[in-house]
């Protein structure tokens, strides 16, 4: 039977396959559009499965905040070219909307199926690498920051003893600045209490080995060595703990001091109750 150019064009627009592939699929199925579409999807899926082992180190971070809930998603691809594809970007938004609609908290068959559908069409390996959902209580405020083309995404959950302060632009602006700070400095933890003791001990052991190998410190009293070690550990904590880091907008202040100052201006006690940092490929 004769296959019309209009049908070929329609099938191509729907599946993303080449013109000849679409024509051959329609010919093979005797013009049955649904069967031709299914055939092309099967071929596309087979092509993607062949590439399943290839690394997906590119991609984009997507974030949406709605009704006191923030959703972060890392959607991965093989190339940054696909990460900029409008259909890829639409997919990221659709995945977040589905998560918000159904209350999902992690990747599942339905969400992975949405990814597979586009991967089949584009014929590039893709994956839904991470999902994180953050919920805010009545006296908490959520804000987001996405850096550049979506390489880094941050959500901050700020707390206050007076929920009405979130109506003030100063509070919203400061929360956003915290998100920007986290994107820039990627703190390991909020403060020392949030760091795994075993990890901290490992860092102390590394510093101790460094001191033992320093010829300039040979023969120094143990008390002196202990004080040097303590100083190194404190400096390390100041580098990796959010509240101890120099604030991005005024490095003379720590984040903790900037938080206290902003709270004082607003007439409330502010806290950072949670934060999430996503970077593509990490």
pLDDT per position as a tens digit, 117-162: 888 778 788 899 999 999 999 999 999 999 988 999 999 999 999 9
From CA 282, how far away is CA 112, in angstroms rounded?
Answer: 19
pLDDT tens, residue by residue, 212-230:
777 777 777 888 888 888 8
- Give the rounded percent of residues in the chain with a pLDDT score beyond 90: 55
Instruction: Find out whether 137 and 120 touch, Cβ atoms under 8 Å.
Output: no
Backbone angles phi, psi at 238, to 5 degrees: -65, -30
> Which range (41-45, 48-52, 87-91, 230-234) has the least confidence?
48-52
Higher-scoring residue by pLDDT: 176, 39: 176
Biggest CA pair distance of the chain: 95
Query: What pLDDT score was predicted for residue 51?
Result: 54
CB hemisphere CA count around 222 (13 angstroms): 0
Using an 8 Å Cβ cutoff, are 127 and 115 in contact? yes
Domain boundaries 5-50, corresponding CATH code: 1.10.8.10
Mean pLDDT computed over every residue of the chain: 88
The answer, yes or no, to whether residue 208 has pLDDT greater than 70, is: yes
Percent of the chain with pLDDT over 70: 92
Of the listed ranges 28-32, 141-145, 189-193, the one predicted with least confidence: 28-32
CATH 3.30.479.20 for domain 52-135, yes or no, is yes
Residue 271 has pLDDT above 90, yes or no: yes
Annotate 150-207 with DSSP letters as a single string. TTEEEEEEEEES-GGGGGSHHHHHHHHHHHHHHHHH--SBSSGGGS-HHHHHHHHHHH
DSSP structure class, residue 79: -
Rg for the chain, CA atoms, rounded:
26
Two structure tokens written together for 80: 């940054």
**Stretch 220-243: mean pLDDT:** 87
Q: Where are the domains positioned within the chain?
A: 5-50, 52-135
Look at 47 and 237; give whichever has higher pLDDT.
Answer: 237
Number of H helices, E strands in the chain: 10, 8
Same fold, 5-50 and 52-135: no
Q: Is the pLDDT of residue 109 over 50?
A: yes
């Amino acid at each position: 039977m004769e296959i019309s150019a209009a049908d070929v064009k329609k099938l191509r627009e729907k599946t993303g396959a080449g013109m000849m592939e679409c024509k051959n699929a329609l010919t093979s199925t005797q013009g049955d559009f649904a069967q031709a579409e299914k055939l092309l999807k099967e071929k596309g899926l087979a092509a993607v499965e062949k590439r399943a082992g290839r690394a997906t180190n590119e991609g984009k971070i997507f974030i949406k905040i709605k009704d006191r809930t923030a959703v972060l998603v890392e959607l991965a691809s093989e190339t940054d070219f696909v990460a900029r594809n409008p259909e890829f970007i639409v997919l990221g938004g659709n995945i977040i909307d589905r998560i918000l609609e159904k209350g999902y908290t992690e990747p599942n068959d339905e969400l992975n199926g949405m990814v597979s559908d586009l991967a089949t069409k584009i014929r590039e390996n893709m994956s839904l690498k991470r999902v994180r959902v953050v919920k805010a209580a009545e006296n908490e405020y959520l804000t987001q920051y996405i850096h550049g083309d979506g390489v880094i995404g941050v959500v901050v959950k700020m707390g206050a003893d007076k929920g009405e302060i979130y109506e003030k632009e100063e509070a919203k602006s400061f929360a956003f600045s915290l998100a920007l700070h986290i994107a820039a400095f990627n703190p390991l933890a909020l403060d020392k209490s949030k760091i795994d003791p075993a990890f901290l001990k490992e860092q102390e052991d590394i510093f101790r080995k460094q001191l033992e190998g320093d010829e300039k410190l040979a023969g120094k009293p143990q008390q002196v060595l202990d004080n040097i070690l303590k100083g190194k550990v404190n400096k390390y904590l100041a580098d990796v703990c959010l509240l101890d880091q120099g604030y991005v907008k005024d490095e003379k202040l720590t984040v903790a001091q900037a938080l206290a100052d902003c709270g004082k201006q607003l007439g409330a006690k502010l806290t950072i109750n949670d934060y999430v940092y996503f970077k593509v490929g990490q």
